[in-house]
Amino acid sequence: MSVRTLPLLFLNLGGEMLYVLDQRLRAQNIPGDKARKDEWTEVDRKRVLNDIISTMFNRKFMEELFKPQDLYSKKALRTVYDRLAHASIMRLNQASMDKLYDLMTMAFKYQVLLCPRPKDVLLVTFNHLDSIKGFIQDSPTILHQVDETSRQLTEIYGNLSAGEFQMIRQTLLTFFQDLHIRVSAWNPRGGCCPGHKPVIQKYQEQDFTQLVIPITLRIFYYKHSSEDFNHFPHLH
pLDDT digits (tens, 9 = 90+) for 26-56: 887 655 455 455 567 888 889 999 999 999 9
Q: How many Å apart are CA 171 and CA 169, to the nearest integer?
A: 5
Contact of 18 with 132, CB cutoff 8 Å? yes
Dihedral-angle region of residue 198 (phi above 0 means left; psi in -120 to 50 means alpha; beta otherwise)? beta
Contacts of 26 (CB under 8 A, 6+ apart): 45
Which pLDDT does position 231 carry in this prediction?
53
What average pLDDT does the segment 135-164 reach?
Answer: 95
Cα separations in angstroms, 30 against 36, 45, 47, 90, 129: 9, 10, 15, 16, 28
If we measure between CA atoms, which residue out of 197, 166, 172 comes closest to residue 108?
A: 172
Where on the phi/psi map is residue 79: left (φ > 0), alpha (ψ -120 to 50), or beta?
A: alpha
Residue 2 has pLDDT above 70, yes or no: yes
Domain ranges of the chain: 6-189
Burial of 192 (0-12, 13-18, 19+ CB in 10 A): buried
What angle (nearest 5°) sits at the alpha carbon of residue 88, between those of residues 85 and 91?
A: 60
The pairs formed by 73-78 with CB atoms below 8 angstroms and a separation of 24 or more are: 74/175, 77/9, 77/10, 77/13
Enumerate the β-bridge partners of residue 230: 217
Q: Cα angle at 56 between 52 and 59, to 5 degrees?
A: 130
pLDDT digits (tens, 9 = 90+) for 151-182: 999 999 999 999 999 999 999 999 998 876 66
pLDDT at residue 188 greater than cutoff 50: no
* pLDDT band of 235, cuts 50, 70, 90: very low
Q: pLDDT tens across 61-120, in order?
A: 999 999 999 999 999 999 999 999 999 888 899 999 999 999 999 999 999 999 989 999
Conformational region of residue 223, where left means phi above 0, alpha means psi within -120 to 50, and beta covers everything else: left
